[in-house]
Structure formats: structure tokens, C-alpha cells
Structure 1
């Protein structure tokens, strides 16, 4: 079995390489099709000699390279190191909220099948999944930030609070350094954007968990538990564990979507992550930065997909290696 799972992991891992190469090629072509020139976008209407223009246009090195927009000449890798932890932190918290809400509402709906509570949970899943992130985020900003003044509406931490960067994840760094003032500030800042993402994405979990649990609860082994007098909450827990395998796949896909699709949330909450970085670089036609960010995302999403495949193979014995 070890040899089978090992071969399975190697094959799945190698599939990441052509995926990244294909994506990189597509991004490269589309960026060159777009009108405009990255150098001219930076210098604007300033007079520049043909020799200087040619020199600037040779700043492509075949790797992530350096930025072509302000500040010019800064390695793209440095931006990735600075911005990616912010997106990852938002993704982790948003993902956690979505999974917990989805499992809770889906389980309640399944155990109350055919009742008004079940109808309410299903209605919640539809509304949550159709919410427009910028609108929903701004509503939360207005209610909790402007009206009640209980939560900040932008940024990652209060101005003036110093925090030693270790991982770039402010909540984790504040714990590692024992900076509880920074910890409280980082938690307060991430609540609204994480809640926005979490609620919107929880609808898919609600419906999937509900449908799978309804199927599991109708099986013979569940009826045998009830016949033996097993407590309701234990039966529900057993049913949830058996209904969890398809949810694992969705969890991996949602995490990848959160990583690559946090642009709207980051823009709404002025969150300094990869989403706002890519949007900013697109305005300047910064080929190097855009390609570097997309390839980095592709590699990370491929890694997440590999982990999901491995977990799925370990949980479900029907998967063939």
C-alpha cells in the first residue's frame, strides 16, 4: 500500500508542472495582447530618449525579475514575501468561518429534514452563495464600523502598533512574540473581511453537508445505532464523519478559490494582500510582477490540490493508486 500511495503522490505532484507552464504561457500571451507599454505607463508623459526606453524594456530576466512600476527595480520576490502572508492569513480565517458555518447549518438542516428549520437553512445557503462580496462587505463595514464603531473597516493592524514580523501572519506573529496588543488589533481587523468571505462561501458547504448527511442518516447502520439506544448527538457525529469525504474535496477547492479570488474582499477592506497587488500592477502593465504573482499562485494552488488528493485517497479506500 505504501508503494501505491507513494506512486500516486509522485504522479499527482508531477501534474503540477505542466499546469504551471500552461498557465504561465497563457498569462504571458494575454499580457502582451493588452494595449499599452509597461515602461510608458510608468514614465507617463515625461520625455525619454529612445536609448533610455530600450534600456528599461530590457529589465526582463526570465525569472520573477524586478518591478517595472513604482518603485522600479524592486525584486518581485520581495513583494510576494510581503503580500502573500496577508492573503494567506485572510484565506485561513475566511476558510475557517465558511467551514464551521457550513458544517453547522448543513448538520442542522439534515437532522431537521422536512421542517421549517430545514427550509430556513436551505434558504440561507442560497442567499449566502449569491451575495456580492463588495456589497456585503460594505454593509458590514457600515453596520459594525461606522454605525456601532466596534470594528475597523480597513487595514491589518492599528497605526502606531509595532509588530516584529516572523511569518508575516500578524495574528501568529503577535502570539509568537507575546505582543497581545498587536494580537487584539489583528483579530479585530480580520473579523469583518473573514466574516464576509466565510458567509459567502459557507452556502456551498451547507447544501453539500445537508444532502450527504440526509443520505447517510437513511442507511441501515444509522438505524441500528438508534435501535441500540445510542444518543442522538453521537449518531449525528457518526453520520457527519461518514458524510465528510465529499466535503474534503470542496474544502480544498474552496481554499484554492479563496487564495486566488480574494481580490474583491481585499479591495473592499483595503487589505494589503496579493489581490490588491495584482490589481495595482495591472494598471501599470507590470508584466514581471503579474506573471510572478500568477505563477506563485498556480504553484500554491497546485500544492493544495495535491494535499487534498492525498487526504482524499487516505480517507476513501475506493480511490485507486
Structure 2
């Protein structure tokens, strides 16, 4: 069994490499077929001497043939070098930006993921145990509405209601101006706890409420429907009727049913976590959250090849690792899965 698990992990881990290569290739090609010149985008003017333009292109490595650019960056990437930024501030290692921005996106993702799972489980279970009732219909309507919400619109409505109208919660940023925080991991909540900084912890949590709730609610609809349908199927099985016949309490029966219905949800959780990481762009832009999403949007405006390629490849690798972990957990939870 251990040998089978080891082989499975190695094979699934190796599959991340071609996934990253394919995505890198697609991004590389699309960036270069799009109209516009990254050097002119950085300079901000077309009134530049051709000699100076060629000099800047040479400094950025854009004067080389495309296949040379492709393999040069690929080789450096496998050595952990994501290049330097082409746009302001020029020459700064892209990896420095990734280290700075990724923890912000990861923190937002963790909180939004937690909210989405909790809301989905609660609404899904309620709908299942009240199957056919008005409550069940309400839960199904909730799942449809939540899944179709447009993140910027929903986020702005929450900003207006809780930030502008009631003045309860901040509408942008990660921490209030003037609040000092010693950054250790880049995850502000964790850093606040590790440094026992109560003021920073309260400020950070307040700033997380609106963006994480916005993203969490939108993605909770998928959990609601999946949990509800799986629970309805499990609750109709013979072993559930046997529990009722033996006089087992309703809450225990519901718990047993949820555990059996939860296995397919594990796969969705892994996919949703990956979607949260990649789909945080809209949320980060709406709430001016200084994460990977706003970084990529900013770099796209400047056609910063290195920064965009590095961010996308980093995302792809991390999502691949998350998918691997989910597959392993799924296989461990479901004995029917064979390695």
C-alpha cells in the first residue's frame, strides 16, 4: 500500500511539469502576438529615437529570436529565476514581487474558502433534511443566485452598505494606515497572532470581512447544490433507515449521512481553492487588495512579459500542488480508490 501511494504521488507530481510547460507556452505566445510594444508601454511615448528603443529592447532581451527568448526564460525559471520587471520599477526581481503579493492572495483565499465551505455545508444540509419543503426551495434558489452573482457588483454593494452607509467595515486595503505590524510570513492574521499584536489583528480581520465574504458567498452556491444532492441520495439509503429504526438521534443520523456525502465534496473543495486563487483578480481589484490579482492586472497594463509569465507559472505550480494534495486526500478517504 505504501509503495502504491508513493508511486501515485510521484506520478501525479511529475504531471505538474507538463501542465506548467503548456500554460507557460500559451502565455508566452499570446503575450507576443498581442499588439503593442512593452518598451513603448514602459516609456509611455512613441517619440523615442530608434537607437534608444533598440538599446532598451536589448537590455530586456527582446531583441533575440522568439525561440531563444522562450528557452532562456524557461531555463532560468527552472532555476528559480523569474526574471526582472520590465516596467516601473525596472530591474526588480519578479520573485520579490511574488513573495510580497502571494501571501495577501493566499490569506484572502483561505478566509473566502472557509466561508464558502461553511455556507455551502449549512445550506446544503438544511435543504437535504427538509427536502421538498419551502426551505429546500429557498436553499436551491440561494445556490443559483449566489453562483450567478457578479463579484464587482456584489462587492460594491457590500462596500456601500457596510463601509459608506453604516461605517462599520473598511472598504479597501489589508490593514489600517498607521497600524504597525512586524511582517514575518506575509499573512497578516498569522503575523498579528505570532507577535501578539491585538490592534493589528483586529484591523486585519476587519479588512478581510468584506472581500472574503464577497468571494465566499459567490462560490458557496456550488457547495450548496452538491451537498444537498449527495445528502438526499445518502438519506434515502438502507443504512440510514436502519439507524432510524434503531432509534438513533436525528442529529447523529445527519452527521453519518454528511460524512458519506462529503467524499465527492472533497474534489470540489480542491478545485474551488484553485479557482479562488486564480479568480481573486476581480475581488482584489474591487477592494484594492494588494495581492497577485492586482499585480497581474497592473503588469498587463505595461505588457511586462517577465512579471506576467512568472506570476502565471507560479500560480500554475501552486494550483498543481493543491490538486495533488486533494487527490491524495480523496484516495485516503475513499477506500474504493486504487493506486
Q: Structure 1, residues 10-48: CA drift from partner, whole Å, max 9, x if none?
A: 111110000000100000000001111111111122754
1:77 aligned partner: 95
1:156 aligned partner: 174
Q: Which of 287, 291, 296 is matched with 1:273 structurally?
A: 291
Q: Secondary structure at the match of 1:57?
A: helix
The 2-side partners of 1:133 and 1:108 are apart by 25
Q: Which of 155, 170, 186 is matched with 2:204 structurally?
A: 186
1:67 aligned partner: 85
1:317 aligned partner: 335
Q: Structure 1, residues 177-226: CA drift from partner, whole Å, max 9, x if none?
A: 11110000000000000000010000000000000000000111111111
Specify every segment of 5 or more residues in structure 1 that has no aligned partner in the other structure, as ranges.
none
1:106 aligns to 2:124 (yes or no): yes
Give 1:121 deviation, angstroms.
0.5
Aligned alpha-carbon RMSD (Å): 1.1
Specify every segment of 5 or more residues in structure 2 that has no aligned partner in the other structure, as ranges.
62-71, 77-81
Does 311-320 or 49-58 show the bigger shift? 49-58
1:227 aligned partner: 245
2:229 aligned partner: 211
TM-score normalized with structure 1 length: 0.98
Q: Structure 1, residues 68-116: CA drift from partner, whole Å, max 9, x if none?
A: 1111111000000111000000000000000000000000000111111
Give 1:49 deviation, angstroms.
4.1
Does 231-240 or 45-54 show the bigger shift? 45-54
1:285 aligns to 2:303 (yes or no): yes
The 2-side partners of 1:283 and 1:96 are apart by 32
Q: Which of 197, 202, 206 is matched with 2:220 structurally?
A: 202
User: How many positions carry a matched residue from both structures?
Assistant: 321
1:23 aligned partner: 23
Aligned pairs (5 A) from 1:225-304: 225-304=243-322
Give 1:316 deviation, angstroms.
1.1
Aligned pairs (5 A) from 1:134-149: 134-149=152-167
Q: Secondary structure at the match of 2:312?
A: helix
Q: Structure 1, residues 238-271: CA drift from partner, whole Å, max 9, x if none?
A: 0000000000000000000000111110010000
2:8 aligned partner: 8
Give 1:127 deviation, angstroms.
0.5
Give 1:50 deviation, angstroms.
3.8
TM-score normalized with structure 2 length: 0.93
The 1-side partners of 2:278 and 2:285 are apart by 13
Give 1:51 deviation, angstroms.
4.1
Q: Structure 1, residues 50-71: CA drift from partner, whole Å, max 9, x if none?
A: 4443332232462311101111
